[in-house]
Each structure stands twice: as structure tokens, then as C-alpha cells.
Amino acid sequence: MGRKEEEGSGSWKKQTSNIRKTFIFMEALGSGAFSEVFLVKQKSTGQLFALKCIKKSPLNRDSSLENEIAVLKKIKHENIVTLEDIYESTTHFYLVMQLVSGGELFDRILERGVYTEKDASLVIHQVLTAVKYLHENGIVHRDLKPENLLYLTPEENSKIMITDFGLSKMEQNGIMSTACGTPGYVAPEVLAQKPYSKAVDCWSIGVITYILLCGYPPFYEETESKLFEKIKEGYYEFESPFWDDISESAKDFIRHLLEKNPSARFTCEEALRHPWINGNTALHRDIYPSVSAQIQKNFAKSKWRQAFNAAAVVHHMKKLHMNGMGDNSPTEQSSIIAISLSLSVPFHPFPSSHFKSEVLVPVKTSKHSSHCGTGQTGVCLIM
């Protein structure tokens, strides 16, 4: 991709003395403690990319970065964002990423006007196909959630893309033990601090499917400790009236993914064979009014856009925290805290309730209160 004189002897990166000789910087897409993401145009081809500029620092360990690069370099799938190239200067690493410009999954649902189970099924089919590919290549994403599912282009028939591999892990002997992920989407075995495997991704897909069919998360509580207990118990409901018009097949599909026992939980391959995905049981009945109202109520754009800008790709979430992006107000931006691991917790779906937790760091809050509390995963939680 780059000019010959800039290429180093390293097999996975190219040396550059001035990255602006290769790319035209068009606009900033986001910034964090150690990185910035820019929309850039490659001078030699005119192609647009998202360029993630990571400043070298003693606090930004190369091992964490190299893990992300090792994962991304191994991936080639139509529904997974592509790492196109890597450059290194004396001060920065530069990750040249495929530009994903079609917007967030929730935005697309809200814009549709009409939305059915079949639409949700088609999204989940793409997600399952991509995650099955990851698992076959020994990669566990570990942070699947709606804001990490973006559309490639603004076109109506655009593919869905899985992004954000900052927490991904190459499996070693099929077992991992580091507690990470986003509360509300994380599997019971992770919260129980037990060894876990690729089955954690399938649990997260179950949570995403649940949200896509009702607009609120299956697990919600007044405090994070109660939330974690409910997840560890695997307790959730298909509440009326939100689930009255949803097919029994969809509920059966979710039950197999939100299975507390990871060895009994559906694999991606098994989920792809389920009739709600592979057959004709996903209903064509319009569920837009109910789902869109709940999404707007429970997943305020200012909250989930803080984690990901629509056009930026693959944020380095471990050691890097992306500050408020998009069109957030200063008040909303001030509730974001730079911490070592950026996490988000879904909101309670009913207006009479709100999330509370022990306050670790004082923050200014916007319309929805945000506190930084401690949890059983041993990481700080953004709520």
C-alpha cells in the first residue's frame, strides 16, 4: 500500500518518517488518551480509510497493541472490518483500517419505519457467520454488542460489519480466564471468574438477539451487583406486552443461546441451523413501533455513541478510552472518564428506574446518571 522507500524490513509493519507523505488527513473521527482516528485519503490511489494513530508511550504497552494486530491480520471475512496496513514512525503506530461508513445498527433500525423479526434474523445470520469464522480461526471476540455492529455503507442492502477487536483473544488450548467484556452482554462464566471459551460470544449474540426483538436488554437491575447476580443465575423473562407478538421460534432460539451452562449453549454452527435463522419461522409482522420506542428509551444515542463513532473502526479499548464522539453535548462528554478499560452498561427499560452504583470517581452527569463503580469483574464500569 505505501511507497517503497517507506517499507521496513518488518513483515507486519512499514516504516515511515512522515505519514502525511502517504495519506491526506481529511477529518478527525475521534480521539482518546493515546490515539486518534482520522478519515484519510491514500495519495497514490485516492481510496478512503480510517487511520488509527497510536502514540507510543510507556503506559501503552506494545504487547496489548500487538495482540490487536495479531488478531486483525489473521482475519479476512466479508462481515468483519479489515486491517489494510500498518505503519510505524519513531513516535506512532498507524493502523490503516477499512472505512465503515454505514452507521450504527440501532440508527438503521430507527430509520427503517418498518421492522420485522425477519430483519433481525438476517442481521443475526450475518453475525453468526462472521463469529463462526472467528471461532474456526481460534479467535474469541469477547466484546460483542450492538455498538460493535456497524453497516459497511449507507445503502439499504449493506452488509453488517463486526468491529472493535481491542479485547479479542487468540485461544490458547481453548480456555481463557481474564475477566473482560461489557456487563449486560458478558456470559455468566466470566462473571463467576471461571475459565471460559468461545461460548461467551454465543451468549453475547443471544443478548443482542433479545434486544433486537424488544428494544431493551434481558438483564437489568438497580445495582451492578444485582445485575451480575441475575446474569450468573441466567434469569430473564419474555415480558408482556413487549414479547406478545414475537414468535415462539425466536424465543426458542434465544433460550439456546442464553443457556447458563456453556457446554449446553448453542455454538454458532448450531445456531445457524436453527429454523429462525435457516428456515421460515421468523415472522414478517411489523414490530417497529414497540422496538423503536424501547431502543430510544433505553439506548440513548449519546450513551452508545461514546463507545464508537460511526465512521471510525476498531478502537483499541484496552489501555485506550475514546472520549465523547459524534455530536454529544459538553455535559454528556464530561461524564466520560479515561480509564484502562472502557465498558458500558445497558439502561433499565422502564422509566421508573435508573442505574445506581457506588461512586468511585465524581463525574458530571447528563440526563441519564453516569457513575464509575467497582464490579466483580475487577474493572471500572461506565454506566
Q: Break the chain into its structural domains and give their ranges.
A: 4-97, 105-298
Instruction: Please state, as a whole number, how many other Cβ atoms lie within 10 Å of the Cβ of residue 235.
Output: 12
Give the pLDDT of residue 7: 40
pLDDT tens for 304-327 read 443 333 333 333 323 333 444 344
Give the pLDDT of residue 32: 67
- What residues are annotated to the active site? 143
pLDDT tens for 181-208 read 566 888 888 887 776 688 999 999 999 9
Provide the grid cell at 142.
Answer: 469477547
Q: Which of 163, 176, 36 is nearest to 92 (CA)?
A: 36
pLDDT tens for 358-379 read 222 222 223 322 222 222 222 2
Alpha helices in 55-112 (DSSP H): 62-74, 105-112
CB neighbours of 105 closer than 8 A, spacing ≥ 6? Answer: 123, 146, 147, 149, 150, 151, 160
Fold (CATH) for 105-298? Transferase(Phosphotransferase); domain 1 (1.10.510)
| Residue 132 annotated as lining a ligand binding site | no
pTM of the model: 0.70
Spans in the chain with pLDDT lower than 50:
1-10, 167-180, 302-383
Give the pLDDT of residue 30: 76
Burial of 265 (0-12, 13-18, 19+ CB in 10 A): buried
Give the pLDDT of residue 182: 63
Q: Which of 252, 315, 257 is nearest to 131 (CA)?
A: 257
Dihedral of the CA atoms 160, 163, 168, 174 (nearest 10)? 10
CB neighbours of 160 closer than 8 A, spacing ≥ 6? Answer: 79, 105, 123, 126, 127, 149, 150, 151, 152
SS3 116: strand
CATH code, 4-97: 3.30.200.20
Burial of 45 (0-12, 13-18, 19+ CB in 10 A): exposed
